[in-house]
Structure 1
Amino acid sequence: MAGKSGKENKKSKSELSEILAELAALRQDVEALKLSEPAPIVGRVLTAEQVARKASAFSPAARARLIETLLTQGPQPPPQLGDTCGLATGSLYHHLREIVAAGIATVEGKVYQLTPEGARLARAFFSPTDE
């Protein structure tokens, strides 16, 4: 009987490992869903000027690439963004200023990241469509 209980312990440890792995995967799925679901904007109406300002943050293509990079790769410092997007320092900072001014991104220290609203807009623009 002692041998049987040893096998039961090994089986239980194996099952526990599988359960923990599944739990970790579920937690990752939940975090991904939290990031992908837009928060409702209740009672908020933008003026035409505000809409145009936010939309202009995605044009030209260099800005759209910067926003897409921040969306897909997360917060980054300018040198890394410039390398990833193939932008020289001068044009990089020009585009980053425009993105920040439009409220699409923020900068803390020397790291740029999308605002919650910027992330929602970016997901809307960069999500696959049926077209």
Structure 2
Amino acid sequence: MRKIIYFFTLIITFSCSKPIELKGDWKMNVLLENNAEKPLPVQPPIISFRSDNLVFYFNTLMVYKLKEDSLYLTYEENPEQIIRAFKIDFIDQDHINLSYLRKVQVDSFSTALKNITLQSQWSKIN
């Protein structure tokens, strides 16, 4: 009886610990700006993760790197310079959340910057 219990425990453990893969196309479902929902464009943006850590982000080919709960995007020509840094939350195999801070100039005459928190929810489409 113990062997059966150990066997099922191993099966459950290995089936639950399958890593989530980003590879494929992801469509934005929801966009939040400072926790307020923003309307999506008629054609929602798509992020396309490919092999060799390549990603098409808003029609630009970039390199991505996952490190703990962060997703970093760099240009292929200059991989040391981070272009975008996101906090990534894996909801399940087909859903992720991306968050990042955007600095916006308060007005055209001052040098003051305001931080805007942008969050987006994405679902896998293939």
TM range (shorter): 0.3 to 0.5
More helix per residue: 1 or 2?
1
TM-score, normalised to structure 1's length? Answer: 0.34
TM-score, normalised to structure 2's length? Answer: 0.34
Larger Rg: 1
More strand per residue: 1 or 2?
2
